[in-house]
Structure 1
Amino acid sequence: MQFHHHGYVSGDPRIEPAAGTGVDRPAELPEQIDVLIVGSGPAGMLAAAQLAQFPSVTTRLVERRPGRLAIGQADGIQARSVETFQAFGFAERITAEAYQITEMAFWKPDPRDPSRIVRSARAQDDPHGISEFPHLIVNQARVLDYFAEFAASSPARITPDYGYEFVGLTVGDGEFPVAVTLKHTAGAEEGTERTVHAKYVVGADGARSRVRSSIGCTLAGDAANHAWGVMDVVASTDFPDIRLKCAIQSHDGGSILLIPREGGHLFRMYVDLGEVPADDAGNVRKTTIEQIIAQANAILSPYTLDVRNVAWHSVYEVGHRLTDRFDDVLPEELGDRTPRVFITGDACHTHSAKAGQGMNVSMQDGFNIAWKLGHVLEGRSPASLLSTYSAERQVVAKNLIDFDKTWSTMMAKKPEEFSSPSELEDFYVRTAEFPAGFMTEYTPSMIVGGAEQQELAAGFPVGKRFKSARAVRVSDTNPLHLGHQAKADGRWRIYVFADPALPGTDSPTDALGEWLASSPESPLAAQPAGGDDDAWFDARVIYQHPHTEIDINAVPRAFKPEVGPFRLTDLNKVYGVDPAADIFDERQLDRAGVVVVVRPDQYVATVLPLTATGELGAFFAGVRGERATAQA
């Protein structure tokens, strides 16, 4: 964390100075808004937190509840999400309060007495070291609290506007073309309606999304005709793995997915309620908590479960549904106009909860659209950038639903229906990278290059998230994870992995540094006049030498930007290799040097040789657009 560059900070450095729309932010919802977010779930709150870093953009978030969420239904936090939390500054704090999954146990009928279950296997949660971040369990409400804290502490000072229900919208013309009708749900004006006008609307309002309906989208898919009871409880039990994630299969009583919760005592159980008849007409949803507990005890035999307190419970039928688009542009309008309304999270994809993907994928939806809106509204990119949201995220959602169909079907199988005794645990280990959130791979577009130069940085696949590795910061000699230094501040990252020469030797790295600092074709030249040298682009250099051999005064000035009103030199962007874990070896980087460009949402955009200044300039010219001016 860096601070003091605007003067001495005596308070909490996480609270940034208010700026732009965050200065004297009106308490009342204004009539005209740049971005209106509907719904304060994971996608909506992350989008608000990201847009809070764009103080020139007026962003408001409306929520029909009268206040914060007290208890959420989602709780699984995959490693990719924790990686995202790191960028928003709260990974360590939420990890400290969460339950951490390191192992999963599998229980099956005892071959000697099928009426009893026995532990048949254990599997490491991340046997291949997919991520340096853990797999966590923590209530959705706490995730929202942390994003709310970040948004409120960021320059735009965004806080939710509670007590507003979305009624409908129409898209017209003008500077603020989206007319949104809202209804007060609390207070003296309860039941009355009002209209606000927005440039853009983000619907993060759940599976029954009214924003989705307003733009003519529908969820299409199928139901598996299989019901599950889910309960968050504290109980007295002799089941020995009550504090381990478990897949439990009984002989004829169905299955349980057991998820320990934060705090040491609470746990969640997804309890198999069996097939649902076609003519059930929703009756299975009337299953009582007592019936769910009884079914759990039948599955756990010979162990018993004495539930002492129920925090929450529900019954649901597995369904897999997806919208055909994630914005308001109809197929026949593609290429003729850019979108004004977007949907995220459960509003555009629904699936079972057992793969622990709903909240995680929803947050990446919010991350994806929010930085793009910020860039378009600040004039950094043309409005065509917004068309990449639906193109990128719909594919991710389709892959998620395909995975979840397989996993939820396997969880509902009887033991004798598997092709081998270890099929379930084998699948869990084999597919670990997908639920961890690391299989997303965006295809070429205006913000993702081709893979022609991929061999220069095999460990940073273009289109996939930037997988961090250690380097040693020269200025203070600290070994750090390179990716962990990238805050969710809307900036592009340009990582220059140097050639073998030291700085100041007229090397290709020196030449690139000079081009970045002085060429009118350099992306750094496009930054706003009078601001920090790295206001829009964060350029860092990693040399192939130990930090002790690097003369920081000889490093090109592109990697030592001047920041703040005092024009202080930032020395924290220069690194040497960590002898204990050489990043060039770990990420298979070409020793002749390579440039790795990373998007604001942590995905690798392009890989280029050090000498490819023309290609680098052209890439960012495409990102900016030929007429990347402030949008109406």
Structure 2
Amino acid sequence: MQYHLNGFRPGDPAHHPATDTKSDTDVLIVGTGPAGLTLAAYLAQFPHIRTRIIERRDGPLVMGQADGIACRTMEMFQAFGFAHRVAHEAYHVNETTFWNPDDTGQITRTGRIDDVEEGLSEQPHVILSQARVHDFYLDLMRKAPTRLEPEYGTEITGLTIADTVTAHTNNGDIETRYVIGCDGARSAVRRALNIPLQGAAENAAWGVMDILATTDFPDIRLKSAIQSRDQGSLLIIPREGGYMVRFYIELAKLNPDERVADRDLTADDLIAAARRILAPHTLDVKEVVWWSVYEIGQRVTDRFANTAPGDTTPPQVFIAGDACHTHSPKAGQGMNVSMQDAFNLGWKLQGVIEGRAPASLLHSYSAERQAVAQDLIDFDRDFARAFAAKGKDPKAFQSHFQKHARYTAGVETRYAPSQLTGPADHQSLATGYTIGKRFHSAPVIRWADAHKMQLGHTITANGRWRLFHFVGDTDHTGALGTLIATYTPANADPDAIIDLRTIVQTPHRMTTAGTTHAPVKGTLGLQDMEKLFCPDPSADIFDTRGIDRKIGALVLVRPDQYVSHVLPPGQQDVLVNWLNQILGSGP
């Protein structure tokens, strides 16, 4: 973490000085769920963007429904600066066990595997209450320059879209440039846009409960998938704190015209069903912390903005999270995908509002994220059916789980070629950094202070592009710095738009560095010594990420941590042409 750039400042370095902002509203966020708070926390950092966030509830969430946090989401939390806080409190999912009936019909453990494959991410898969994730975001917002706080008890009643957008609420009208509906499956913003959720239910009732209990089931503190012979299926998710556990319980098939509410199910019904599935193991529930019943269904909207595909008019209203995709909770993807929606949209809104990108960039949000949501819907349908299936092969669901483990870890998203995702002409220069997928971190040693760290942790959620220059036979850092300067506004730091980081092949004790690796920044003209990196001999990044040692590689990374392009270091003209279509030709 770097601070003191513009002079010594005592106290918590994460607590930024308050900055006066203009009074008119640029962005109105509706809803303080995971998507809304991700977007709010991101935009709160930019003093020149006036952001407001409203919530119909009277206060912050206390008991969260979602709890699974994928590796990819932890990578995003690292960019926001609170991954370590989540990891400290959370339950870490290390292994998953599988239970099936034996020849006598009694459940027995048939498999035990690592939950996440080795090397998939430097971050763990963890379990933590959605409410605590909200707390971390709210804390970040309060410390941001704009001191952003939610406006509770405020509900959308309608929208009027013209040159600006007027949001009609129970507390008066709000005029703004952009509205983002993060207000859940019954989204008022989505209804105002007349965009329907499309899909169908599976006619299956499931229950979920967080409990404090005692049991002789041996895997109660491991993620466990249990498929009984004739009593249904059960998924066990241990919760944070060492004692609480969540059960997802298969209850019954529903008739085509029946809703789960028609069954009048109670917490006692869920407990009884869990006991039947776990038999002959005992389950003594001491306290039901929270419970609910739901129907399995998968629904998604065909667009995530007020403009339709092919419309040249830049969108002004967007939807994110459950407002545009709903599905079952067992695969643990809902909260994760919702936050990634917001991370994708946040940097694009920031770039457009600050005049660093054309408004047409906003079309890419719906194009990219709707495709991701459709993949999620298809995956969730297959996952839910596989978990509830009653087959002769006890390893069937385990095989399905392992096959799709990268997807559930959140690392399989790949954006299609577009204005933001380049062709694979030079992918061979960096085979471990797939264009369109997230930047896969690897260990390095920072040259200036011999600090062992993850290279991906240099990507913070501050709206900047990253250009990682892996040096081959020739070091192009000086020429790249000159190129990047053409995109930098007057009086701004040289890394204000594009942050150049250089990775050489020589060991850190044998590396010498010139002034091109330490740009001058800030009002005091201080040198930034944290731009040059060397391989960690325990896992050389040139080997682990398939970097061409002779030519080297330029890996251009978007502000949301996804690889935009891979190019040869000597072809700066190709890089300029690519950046011009995204950022324009410079200030």
TM over 0.5, yes or no? yes
Query: Equivalent residue for 2:130?
Result: 140
Q: Residue 253 of structure 1: CA displacement?
A: 0.7
Q: Which string of whole-angstrom CA distances, capped at 9 and with x for unpartnered residues, describes residues 59-92 of structure 1?
A: 1111111211001100000000011111011111
Question: Pick from 565, 574, 578: which aligns with 1:615?
Answer: 574
CA distance in 2, matches of 1:99, 1:284: 35
SS at match of 2:406: coil
SS at match of 1:367: helix
Structure 2's unaligned 5+ residue stretches are: none
SS at match of 2:489: coil
Which residue identity is paired with 1:207? A
Q: Residue 613 of structure 1: CA displacement?
A: 0.6
Query: Equivalent residue for 2:56?
Result: 64
Q: Which string of whole-angstrom CA distances, capped at 9 and with x for unpartnered residues, describes residues 447-484 of structure 1?
A: 22111110011000000000011111110011211001
Question: Pick from 261, 277, 281: which aligns with 2:239?
Answer: 261
Q: Are 2:103 and 1:85 aligned? A: no
Q: Are 2:217 and 1:218 aligned? A: no
Which residue identity is paired with 2:282? T
572-581 vs 355-364, which moves further: 572-581
Question: Pick from 298, 317, 334: which aligns with 1:341?
Answer: 317
SS at match of 2:336: helix
- 8 Å CA contact 2:477–2:502 kept in 1: the answer is no
Which residue identity is paired with 2:478? E
Which residue identity is paired with 2:101? P
Query: Equivalent residue for 2:144?
Result: 154
Q: Are 2:211 and 1:250 aligned? A: no
73-82 vs 478-487, which moves further: 478-487
SS at match of 1:181: strand
Q: Which string of whole-angstrom CA distances, capped at 9 and with x for unpartnered residues, describes residues 560-587 of structure 1?
A: 2222211100010111112221111110
SS at match of 1:225: strand
Query: Equivalent residue for 1:485?
Result: 458
Query: Equivalent residue for 1:367?
Result: 343
Query: Equivalent residue for 1:8?
Result: 8
| 1:353-392 to 2 correspondences below 5 Å | 353-392=329-368
CA distance in 1, matches of 2:505, 2:259: 66
Q: Which string of whole-angstrom CA distances, capped at 9 and with x for unpartnered residues, describes residues 548-571 of structure 1?
A: 12222x252xx3222221110001
- 8 Å CA contact 2:447–2:508 kept in 1: the answer is yes
Q: Residue 362 of structure 1: CA displacement?
A: 0.3
Residues 1:285 and 1:542: Cα distance change in structure 2 (over 3 Å): farther
SS at match of 1:370: helix
273-282 vs 595-604, which moves further: 273-282
SS at match of 1:13: coil
Query: Equivalent residue for 2:416?
Result: 443
Query: Equivalent residue for 2:560?
Result: 601
CA distance in 2, matches of 1:53, 1:560: 25
CA distance in 2, matches of 1:119, 1:585: 39
SS at match of 1:433: helix
| 1:46-445 to 2 correspondences below 5 Å | 46-111=38-103, 113-114=104-105, 116-173=106-163, 177-183=164-170, 193-284=171-262, 286-331=264-309, 334-414=310-390, 417-418=391-392, 420-445=393-418
Q: Are 2:487 and 1:526 aligned? A: yes
CA distance in 1, matches of 2:323, 2:64: 17
Structure 1's unaligned 5+ residue stretches are: 184-192, 501-507
CA distance in 1, matches of 2:336, 2:129: 12
- 8 Å CA contact 2:300–2:373 kept in 1: the answer is yes
Query: Equivalent residue for 2:505?
Result: 544
Q: Residue 312 of structure 1: CA displacement?
A: 0.8
CA distance in 2, matches of 1:34, 1:238: 56
Q: Residue 129 of structure 1: CA displacement?
A: 2.5
Q: Are 2:445 and 1:472 aligned? A: yes
- 8 Å CA contact 1:99–1:137 kept in 2: the answer is yes
- 8 Å CA contact 1:471–1:481 kept in 2: the answer is yes
CA distance in 2, matches of 1:85, 1:523: 27
CA distance in 1, matches of 2:408, 2:447: 36
CA distance in 2, matches of 1:497, 1:236: 54
Residues 1:171 and 1:285: Cα distance change in structure 2 (over 3 Å): farther
- 8 Å CA contact 1:457–1:590 kept in 2: the answer is yes
Q: Residue 6 of structure 1: CA displacement?
A: 2.0
| 1:542-581 to 2 correspondences below 5 Å | 542-552=503-513, 554-556=514-516, 559-581=517-539
Q: Which string of whole-angstrom CA distances, capped at 9 and with x for unpartnered residues, describes residues 351-374 of structure 1?
A: 100000000000000000011000
- 8 Å CA contact 1:285–1:316 kept in 2: the answer is no
SS at match of 1:455: helix
CA distance in 2, matches of 1:561, 1:204: 40
Q: CA RMSD in A?
A: 1.5
The TM-score normalised by the length of structure 1 is: 0.91
CA distance in 1, matches of 2:521, 2:141: 23
The TM-score normalised by the length of structure 2 is: 0.97
Q: Residue 285 of structure 1: CA displacement?
A: 5.3
Query: Equivalent residue for 1:460?
Result: 433
Which residue identity is paired with 2:363? S
Q: Residue 155 of structure 1: CA displacement?
A: 2.2
Q: Residue 240 of structure 1: CA displacement?
A: 1.4
Q: Residue 282 of structure 1: CA displacement?
A: 4.0
Q: Residue 119 of structure 1: CA displacement?
A: 1.4
Query: Equivalent residue for 1:517?
Result: 481
SS at match of 1:534: coil
SS at match of 2:346: helix
SS at match of 1:129: coil
Q: Residue 127 of structure 1: CA displacement?
A: 2.8
CA distance in 1, matches of 2:259, 2:297: 15
Which residue identity is paired with 1:180? A
- 8 Å CA contact 1:40–1:62 kept in 2: the answer is yes
SS at match of 1:434: helix
Q: Are 2:583 and 1:624 aligned? A: yes
Residues 1:7 and 1:403: Cα distance change in structure 2 (over 3 Å): same
